[in-house]
């Protein structure tokens, strides 16, 4: 299958006008020397399945994949996309033993993109004119930070009623589940792929760009020793620093509650032997 996907993408290069060489492979040895490895391997969610339902099955997959990355691409920066995202990023770091800045989870970029789209839809605007950020665990307790949301510099709370804004926040939390329900089989892949590509570009081009990602916290936001979704400066080497945003009191409480749930998930991983 990867060979067919690679050939299909390669043939599009004549239309897209790029000169990249794309290779499909079933052999881990072909990742040798990779600067970045993006891990998407895992079971997809099915209708009615929460991210937590995937925990044990996908943990075994992450153990295997990260063992191969450690063997063949020990200098790579690793971007985790597999769900449950925060827990799989924790497990990947534990398995790889790489420096913490080189193990990053892709969650906040995607969740933020969804929120920007929903806000733009409500405002009859274009998403690029909307600023937003989503923090916290990639799950039911993610925290859409409406206090930081703007449209062309204007606070969205002055443009959208409280009830509509609350609905947009909830739709953001349910963004993945909504797509699962519509697709019937499988889950989202276009927006997650774009989000992972944005992270990879920031690393490869040393953009030092602030993006919401899952990274290790050491006291930032009052959260200690946890892989968790926060804004971070991304550039050469991976995560350069965590960026602490001013949050409303309710947002702070929600963020700590989300962190508590992720920490419980880490404990569940331990009880399962991971």
Active-site positions read 138
Backbone angles phi, psi at 52, to 5 degrees: -65, -30
H or E element that contains 130:
strand 130-131
- Choose among 104, 41, 43: nearest CA to 67: 41
Q: Please name the residue that has the structure tokens 């550039």.
A: 235
Quick one: CA dihedral 118, 123, 124, 129, positive or negative?
negative
CB 215 within 8 A of CB 105: yes
- For residues 66 and 39, give the distance between their C-alpha atoms in angstroms, rounded to a whole number: 9
Residue 261 in tokens: 């749930």
**Residue 79 and residue 38 in contact, taking contact as beta carbons nearer than 8 Å:** yes
One DSSP character per residue, 133-158 reads: -EES-SSTT-EE-GGG-EETTEEGGG
User: Rounded to an integer, what distance in angstroms lies between the CA atom of residue 137 and that of residue 247?
Assistant: 16
């Amino acid at each position: 299958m990867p060979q067919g996907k690679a050939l299909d993408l390669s043939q599009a290069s004549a239309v897209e006008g790029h000169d990249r060489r794309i290779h499909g492979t079933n052999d881990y040895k072909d990742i040798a020397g990779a600067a970045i490895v993006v891990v998407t391997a895992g079971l997809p969610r099915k209708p009615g399945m929460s991210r937590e339902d995937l925990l044990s099955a996908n943990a075994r997959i992450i153990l295997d994949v990260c063992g191969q990355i450690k063997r063949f691409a020990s200098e790579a920066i690793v971007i985790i996309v597999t769900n449950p995202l925060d827990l799989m990023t924790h497990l990947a770091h534990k398995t790889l033993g790489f420096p913490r800045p080189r193990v990053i989870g892709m969650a906040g970029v995607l969740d933020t993109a969804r929120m920007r789209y929903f806000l733009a839809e409500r405002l009859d605007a274009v998403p690029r004119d909307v600023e937003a950020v989503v923090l916290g665990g990639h799950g039911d307790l993610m925290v859409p930070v409406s206090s930081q949301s703007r449209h062309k510099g204007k606070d969205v709370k002055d443009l959208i009623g409280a009830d509509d804004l609350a609905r947009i926040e909830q739709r953001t939390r349910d963004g993945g589940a909504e797509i699962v329900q519509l697709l019937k089989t499988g889950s989202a892949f276009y927006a997650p792929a774009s989000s992972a590509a944005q992270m990879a570009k920031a690393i490869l081009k040393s953009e030092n760009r602030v993006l919401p990602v899952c990274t290790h916290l050491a006291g930032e936001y009052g959260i200690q020793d946890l892989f968790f979704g926060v804004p971070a400066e991304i550039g050469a080497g991976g995560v350069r620093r965590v960026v602490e945003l001013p949050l409303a009191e309710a947002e702070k409480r929600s963020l700590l509650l989300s962190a508590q749930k992720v920490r419980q998930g880490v404990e569940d991983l331990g009880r399962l032997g991971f």
